[in-house]
C-alpha cells in the first residue's frame, strides 16, 4: 500500500521562548511583554487588555520569570525530544535577549551565545531547528518608547534583529517563521503587536497600521533571509481554524466568509504579495487610512513567503443574528459560538478534528504553497498517579483524531511539510498564564503558583507519540 506521509516529513513539537525559557533577566536580557503578566483567569486577560495599567501594577507572581526553566534545562529536554524521535523542534528566539531594548544598535552577544548552544545542541541530536523570529515577544521597551508596532520605526529595529539571526545561523537553521500568529494583533493587540492605545484613538486604525508595518517587516525579513542564504525557507504563521456559518441562511454564510477573510487578509498579503481588493471596502467602513507607500507595496510584492505555517486548535462558528451571537463563548481570544455537534476541552475550546482537514484544504486551495502545521493540541489537566505515571488518554485521543484528518488532508492533495504539536513539554499557557493547562508529552512538576521541583517525566502520550513517529504515522 502506498505510504501517505512522505519520508522526510518533519515530525516534532513546538514551544516558544516566552512560555518556556524563564531566566527572564539573565545574560543581559531586556523585558518581554510576558514578563509583566500575572497568571490566572481573569487577571491575565485584564492585564493583557490594558498594558499601560499593567506596566504600573505589581503582581505577587509572574509565571514567565522562571517558567519551566528551559534556559537552563534545554539539554535534558532535547534528550527527551530525541528519545521520542523528533525530526524537528519549533522554538522561538527572544528578541529582548538579542536586543534588550529593541532599538539597540548592536546585539547582545551573551543572548546570542545562548541560542548558539541551543541550536548546536539540536543539530548534534539530529533535530532540525524551526525558528519563530517573533512569538508574542516584541521587547517591552518598544511598547514604552514607541507604542509598539503602530510605529513605523519598528520595521527597522525588527529587520536589524533578523539580519543578525540570518547571518549567525546561516547553514544551521533553514526553516523560519517571521511572526507567530500574525492575525493575533487584531485579537490580543498587546501581545501580537506590543500595542498600547491612547484615549480616543481609533483602535482598528492602530491595529491595521500595526499589521501593515508587521507585514512589510515580514516581507523585508524574507528578502534579507533569501539574500543571506537562498536555501532558507521563510514562512508566515496564521492562527487558523475555518469559521463555519451557524446555519445555511445566506446572511450566515456571508458573515462567516467575512470572518474568514479577516484572518486570510494577512496571508493574502504575505503569500500573494498584495492587499486583497476586499480590504479597500473594509478599511473604508472602519474609517481606516493606512500609511502605505509605493516602496512598501513593492517590497510586499517582491518578497512572498515560501510556506504557510499555521496553528490549529479548533474551528469557529458565527451567526449574522445578533440574538444568536449573545451566546458567544467567553474565554478564547477568538470569539465563537458553541458547535452543537462538537465537544469542548476543559477550557471551552471546541474540538473538531475534521475542521483541521477543512482548514488545510481551504489554505491550500487559496495559496497553493506547502503548509506546515506548527501548533495543534489539547490543553488539559493531568493527574500524577501514586506510582508517578500520567495516563493522558484524552490527549492521545485528541492527537490521534487530528493526525488521522491530517492524513486525509494529505490524501486530498495538500503538500504538508510537518507537524509540531504545541507545548510538547508542558509550559506556561499564553492565554491564562496557568501551568495546569498542559499540552505536553513531557510533564513538568510545577503548579499555577510556581510551586514544584521542575522535574520532567514521561506521560503515556510520550510513548504513544514515539511510536507514531517511528512508524511515520502509519499506525496511530
Which among 262, 346, 375, 408 is annotated as catalytic? Answer: 375
CB of 458 to ligand P53, least distance (A): 21
The 10 Å Cβ neighbour count of residue 467 is 12
Q: Which three cell numbers stand for residue 396?
A: 492521545
Cell of 454: 521542575
Shortest distance in whole angstroms from residue 113 CB to ligand P53: 25
In the complex, least distance from residue 342 CB atom to ligand P53, rounded to whole angstroms: 16
Rounded to whole angstroms, the Cα distance separating 222 from 431 reads 29
Between 313 and 462, whose beta carbon lies closer to ligand P53?
A: 313
In whole angstroms, how close is the CB of 425 to ligand P53 at the nearest point? 12
Residues that bind ligand P53 (CB under 6 A): 16, 19, 180-181, 239, 311, 313, 332-334, 375, 379, 422, 429-432, 437
Strand locations in 206-247 (E): 233-240, 243-245
Q: Which is nearer to ligand P53, 202 or 332 (CB)?
A: 332
Q: Which is nearer to ligand P53, 14 or 300 (CB)?
A: 14
Q: Which H/E stretch holds residue 219?
A: helix 203-228
Cα distances (Å, whole numbers) of residue 186 to 18, 139, 386: 20, 19, 45
Query: Cβ closer to ligand P53: 250 or 348?
Result: 348
Residue with cell 503582581: 59
Check 46, 76, 181, 227 and give the catalytic one. Answer: 181
252/375 with CB nearer ligand P53: 375
Is 83 catalytic? The answer is: no
CA-CA-CA-CA torsion sign (349, 351, 357, 361) = negative
Q: 334 or 465, CB closer to ligand P53? A: 334
* Residue 379, all three cell numbers: 490543553
* Residues contacting 217, CB < 8 A, separation 6+: 154, 155, 158, 159, 178
243: β partners: 316
At closest approach, how far in Å is the CB of 311 from ligand P53? 5
- The residue to which cell 498587546 is assigned: 190
If you search the block for the grid coordinates 488539559, which residue do you land on? Answer: 380
CA–CA distance from 177 to each of 112, 121, 188, 232 (Å)?
A: 18, 20, 19, 11
Rounded Cα distance between 142 and 153, Å, is: 10
- Smallest gap from residue 178 Cβ to ligand P53 (A): 14
Distance CA 125, CA 74 (A): 12
CB of 375 to ligand P53, least distance (A): 6
Measure Cα distances from 126 to 75, 173, 177, 364, 421 in Å.
13, 12, 20, 30, 19
- What span, in angstroms and rounded, lies between the C-alpha atoms of 462 and 476? 13
Residue 157: CB minimum distance to ligand P53, A: 22
Q: Please identify, using beta-carbon distances, which residue of 97 and 135 lies nearer to ligand P53.
A: 135
For residues 51 and 410, which CB has a smaller minimum distance to ligand P53 in the complex? 51
Q: Which long-range contacts (CB under 8 A, 24 or more apart) does 447-454 make?
A: 448/39, 448/40, 448/63, 449/61, 450/61, 450/63, 450/66, 454/66, 454/68, 454/69, 454/73
Neighbouring C-alpha atoms within 13 Å toward the C-beta of 383 = 5
Q: Tell me which residue has its CB nearest to ligand P53.
A: 431
> With respect to ligand P53, which residue has the nearer C-beta, 107 or 418?
418
Which helix or strand (DSSP H or E) is residue 92 part of?
A: strand 88-92
375 an active-site residue? Answer: yes
Q: Quote the least distance from Cβ 357 to ligand P53, whole Å.
A: 19
> Catalytic residue numbers?
181, 375
Amino acid at each position: 500500500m502506498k505510504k501517505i506521509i512522505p519520508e522526510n516529513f518533519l515530525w516534532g513539537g513546538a514551544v516558544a521562548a516566552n512560555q518556556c525559557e524563564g531566566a527572564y533577566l539573565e545574560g543581559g536580557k531586556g523585558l518581554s511583554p510576558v514578563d509583566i503578566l500575572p497568571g490566572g483567569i481573569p487577571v491575565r486577560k485584564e492585564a493583557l487588555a490594558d498594558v499601560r495599567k499593567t506596566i504600573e501594577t505589581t503582581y505577587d507572581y509572574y509565571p514567565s520569570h522562571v517558567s519551566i526553566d528551559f534556559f537552563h534545562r534545554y539539554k535534558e529536554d532535547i534528550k527527551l525530544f530525541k528519545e521520542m524521535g523528533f525530526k524537528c523542534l519549533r522554538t522561538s528566539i527572544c528578541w529582548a535577549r538579542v536586543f534588550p531594548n529593541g532599538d539597540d544598535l548592536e546585539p547582545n552577544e551573551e543572548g546570542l551565545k545562548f541560542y548558539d548552544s541551543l541550536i548546536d545542541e539540536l543539530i548534534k541530536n539530529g533535530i532540525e531547528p524551526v525558528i519563530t523570529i517573533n512569538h508574542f515577544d516584541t521587547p517591552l521597551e518598544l511598547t514604552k518608547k514607541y507604542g509598539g508596532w503602530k510605529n513605523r520605526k519598528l520595521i527597522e529595529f525588527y529587520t536589524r534583529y533578523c539580519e543578525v539571526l540570518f547571518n549567525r545561523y546561516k547553514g544551521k537553521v533553514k526553516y523560519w517563521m517571521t511572526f507567530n500568529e500574525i492575525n493575533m494583533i487584531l485579537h490580543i493587540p498587546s501581545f501580537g503587536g506590543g500595542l498600547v492605545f491612547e484615549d480616543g484613538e481609533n483602535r482598528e486604525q492602530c491595529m491595521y497600521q500595526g499589521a501593515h508595518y508587521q507585514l512589510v517587516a515580514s516581507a523585508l525579513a524574507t528578502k534579507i533571509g533569501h539574500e543571506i542564504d537562498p536555501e532558507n525557507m521563510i514562512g508566515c504563521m496564521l492562527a487558523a481554524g475555518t469559521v463555519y456559518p451557524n446555519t445555511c441562511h445566506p446572511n450566515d454564510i456571508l458573515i462567516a466568509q467575512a470572518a474568514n477573510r479577516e484572518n486570510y487578509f494577512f496571508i493574502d498579503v504575505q503569500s500573494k504579495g498584495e492587499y486583497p481588493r476586499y480590504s479597500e471596502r473594509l478599511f473604508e467602513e472602519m474609517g481606516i487610512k493606512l500609511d502605505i507607500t509605493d516602496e512598501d507595496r513593492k517590497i510586499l510584492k517582491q518578497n512572498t513567503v515560501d510556506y504557510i505555517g499555521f496553528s490549529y486548535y479548533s474551528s469557529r462558528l458565527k451567526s449574522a443574528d445578533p440574538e444568536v451571537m449573545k451566546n458567544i463563548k467567553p474565554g478564547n481570544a477568538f470569539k465563537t459560538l458553541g458547535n452543537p455537534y462538537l465537544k469542548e476541552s476543559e477550557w471551552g475550546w471546541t474540538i473538531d478534528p475534521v475542521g483541521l482537514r477543512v482548514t488545510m484544504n481551504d489554505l491550500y486551495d487559496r495559496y497553493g504553497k506547502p503548509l506546515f502545521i506548527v501548533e495543534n493540541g489539547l490543553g488539559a489537566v493531568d493527574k500524577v498517579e501514586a506510582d508517578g505515571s500520567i495516563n493522558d488518554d484524552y490527549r492521545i485521543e485528541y492527537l490521534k483524531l487530528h493526525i488521522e484528518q491530517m492524513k486525509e488532508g494529505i490524501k486530498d492533495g495538500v503538500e504538508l511539510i510537518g507537524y509540531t504539536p504545541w507545548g510538547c513539554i508542558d509550559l506556561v499557557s499564553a492565554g491564562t498564564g496557568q501551568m495546569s493547562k498542559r499540552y505536553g508529552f513531557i510533564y513538568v512538576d510545577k503548579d499555577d503558583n510556581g510551586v514544584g521541583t521542575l522535574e520532567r517525566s514521561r506521560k503515556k502520550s510520550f510513548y504513544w507519540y514515539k511510536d507514531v513517529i517511528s512508524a511515520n504515522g502509519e499506525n496511530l
